[in-house]
Amino acid sequence: MRPPTWRDYEAIHDVETAAFGREAEAVLAKRVRDEGDALVELVAEENGEIVGHIVFSRMTTQPPERRLAGLAPVAVRPDAQGRGIGDALCRAGIEAVRALGAEAVVVLGDPKYYERFGFSAEAAARIASPYAGNPAFMALELVAGSLAEPVAANYPPAFG
How do the pLDDT tens digits run along the chain, 160 residues long? 999 999 999 999 999 999 999 999 999 999 999 999 999 999 999 999 999 999 999 999 987 789 999 999 999 999 999 999 999 999 999 999 999 999 999 999 999 999 999 999 999 999 999 899 899 999 999 999 999 999 999 999 998 8
d(CA 92, CA 31): 22
Distance, C-alpha 53 to centroid of its chain = 10
d(CA 17, CA 14): 5
Q: What is the CA radius of gyration of the chain?
A: 15
Pairing mode, if any, of strands 49-58 and 137-141?
unpaired
pTM over 0.75: yes
End-to-end CA distance of the chain: give it in Å, rounded. Answer: 29
Strands (DSSP E) along the chain, which ranges? 38-46, 49-58, 60-61, 68-76, 104-108, 127-128, 137-141, 151-154
Q: What pLDDT does 65 receive?
A: 86
